[in-house]
Amino acid sequence: MKGAVLEDRGSPTRDRARALLVAATASATLMALIYLGSRRLEHYDAALFGYTVAGVIAFGVIIFRYVIWLHRPATRRYWLRGWQLFLDRKELRRSLQSIIGTAFGNLVAQRFILRRSRTRWLMHALIMWGCIISAAITFPLVFGWIHFELEGARSYRAYLFGFSTIAVDGRSTVGWMTFHALDFTAIMVIAGCAIAIHRRLHDRGAVSMQQFALDFAPHLLLIAISVSGLMLTASSLWLGGYMYSFISLTHQALVIMTLFYLPFGKFFHIVQRPASIGIELYQNRGGEMLQARCARCGTEFVSQAWLDDLEDVVRRLGFDYRLKNGHALQDYCPRCKRILRGLAYAALVQRSDRR
Ligand code: HEM
Ligand code: HEM
């Protein structure tokens, strides 16, 4: 693999202009899809205009931030390497195996969180799946991509982009579960956030590092959305619609705040994390490439391409880890790096003892 293939230095102004263009195109495409998917707004509910505006803007801002993030030296390098390896036709089967394995292990089953603790895994699974399922239900409804029509006395037929799909008996168990799906996801999200807040209030490591805006605001927003959603159900089921429009406005305001918070705070990891698939592909395939040997012990410890990329990224970021012997710190395996650090500390102590 030649580093030259990846050269595209860019400039901050050009990067921003490019990101703005991509973001504007993404928002415009979403608007066109809303128009077409709702059959020229025939199935679009004007009362949900606020959600739509927030969704379209937040989508554009997320794309903008994502593109800017991709322009950073390290992200750009590993992103392009991931695609380069994926597009290598000769190894397509093995690349697909690696991608499916990472997608299942890291994105779906989240085994790396399970390694930290079962409670943390449960916390994240409840929040993540609660939010994913809620979004999968609400966005298509808000954008008019899905709508229901009464069929006969008690059945509802679901329409996707205006095309007829399944009919659900409103009084059957499946019907009840379908129409109350958001209540289940609300309970999942509240439970997950409760576990997260409990950990943040009791775990000493977390207590020392956390900040309110970064570590508590996301949970509080999610809990507020879920509680206001449950209050909507309670209002319509048991209170004859008491305060329904006020609660509905509150739910909408909270959702809009969260959508605008998405690109800036903790939630941005939702779109950032899947990019790790490319990095894992590079690591997995790195084993077959020419290996770099440690400058001290001679052990093969990483692919030469990975090491060259790392040195180049570090240089571009303005760091210089070259040592007096002509090698860079990155040329040593992790074990020897620790030994070198230990020797450097010991030399310092000896020097100060001599004085
Ligand atoms: C809709 C999707 C997602 C939502 C709503 C979400 C939400 C959250 C929240 C609220 C936290 C903070 C928990 C805390 O207080 O400690 C968190 C942590 C985390 N998230 Fe996500 N997340 C999502 C998707 C993902 C994905 C796809 C990944 C990676 C593949 C991921 C990886 C992580 C990791 C590693 C942590 C730290 C967990 C820990 O403390 O052990 N998340 N997520
Ligand atoms: C954590 C995520 C969310 C949860 C747990 C949640 C929960 C709920 C619940 C329980 C309801 C009441 C359903 C009923 O009574 O049948 C509801 C209603 C609603 N939600 Fe959400 N929601 C979430 C996110 C969203 C998002 C992202 C949107 C917009 C894109 C949205 C738009 C709506 C709308 C339009 C209604 C109906 C409100 C009305 O009748 O005025 N929700 N939600």
Pocket test for ligand 2, best of 45, 59, 62, 138 (most atoms within 8 A of CB): 138
Segment 300-312 shows an average pLDDT of: 94
Nearest CA to ligand 1 atom 24: 270
CA 225–ligand 2 middle distance (angstroms): 8
What atom in ligand 1 is closest to the CA of residue 113? Answer: 41
**pLDDT confidence bin for 84, thresholds 50/70/90:** very high
Where does the pLDDT of residue 168 fall: very low under 50, low under 70, confident under 90, or very high at 90 and above?
very high
Task: Give residues with Cβ within 8 angstroms of 104, minimum separation 6.
Answer: none
pLDDT at 10: 62
Query: For residue 2, what pLDDT band results from cuts at 50, 70 and 90?
Result: very low
pLDDT at site 187: 98
Spatial neighbors of 209 by CB under 8 A, at least 6 apart, are none
Q: Which residue has the higher pLDDT, 6 or 24?
A: 24
What is the residue with the minimal CA distance to atom 1 of ligand 2? 131
Residue (of 255, 258, 205) closest to 228 by Cα position: 255
CB atoms within 10 A of CB 16: 15
Which residues have C-beta atoms less than 6 Å from ligand 1?
106-107, 113, 116, 120, 124, 127-128, 131-132, 196, 200, 215, 218-219, 266, 269-270, 273
Per-residue pLDDT reduced to its tens digit, 192-235: 999 999 999 999 999 999 999 899 999 999 999 999 999 999 99
- Average pLDDT of the segment spanning 20-26: 98
Taking the C-alpha atoms of residue 127 and residue 195, their distance in angstroms, rounded to an integer, is: 10
What band does 295 get if pLDDT is binned at 50, 70 and 90? very high
Q: Give nearest CA residue, ligand 1 atom 13.
A: 196
Written as six digits, the tokens of 29 are 């495409």
By the 10 Å C-beta count (0-12 exposed, 13-18 middle, 19+ buried), 194 is classed as: middle
The domain segmentation of the chain, as residue ranges, is: 3-278, 291-354
Q: Is the pLDDT of residue 91 over 90?
A: no
Distance in Å, CA 123 to ligand 1 centroid: 9
Q: Which of 222, 232, 244, 259 to mutate to test the pocket of ligand 2 (most atoms within 8 A of CB)?
A: 232
Task: Report angle CA 270, 273, 279 to the nearest 5 degrees.
Answer: 165
Q: Whose CA is nearest to atom 30 of ligand 1?
A: 107
* Ligand at shortest distance from the CA of 121: 1
User: For the residues 143-155, what does the mean pLDDT come to?
Assistant: 94
- Residue 4 pLDDT grade (very low, low, confident, very high; cuts 50, 70, 90): very low
The token pair that represents 290 in the structure block: 């020419």
Question: How far is Cα 157 from Cα 137, in angstroms, rounded to an integer?
Answer: 16
Task: Using a pLDDT cut of 90, give the percent of the chain over it.
Answer: 83
Nearest-CA residue for atom 14 of ligand 1: 196
* Per-residue tokens: 334: 């992790």
pLDDT band per the 50, 70, 90 thresholds, residue 352: confident
Which residue, chain included where needed, has tokens 């994240």? Answer: 124
Average pLDDT over residues 131-153: 96
pLDDT of residue 324: 87
The predicted pLDDT at position 330 comes to 93
Cβ atoms 161, 40 nearer than 8 A: no
Q: Which residues contact 82 (CB under 8 A, 6 or more apart)?
A: 275, 277, 278, 279, 281, 282
What pLDDT score does 351 carry?
Answer: 79
Hey, whose CA ends up nearest to atom 11 of ligand 2? Answer: 229
> Cα(60) to centroid of ligand 2, in Å?
22
Q: Which atom of ligand 1 is nearest to the CA of 121?
A: 41
Supply the residue whose CA is at minimum distance from atom 40 of ligand 1: 120
* Cα–Cα distance measured from residue 51 to residue 255, given in angstroms and rounded to the nearest whole number: 8
pLDDT on residue 288: 87
Mean pLDDT, residues 278-300 taken together: 93
Pairing verdict, β 146-151 and 155-160:
antiparallel
Q: Which secondary structure element, helix H or strand E, spans residue 55, and what is its range?
A: helix 49-70
Distance 266 CA to ligand 1 centre (A): 8
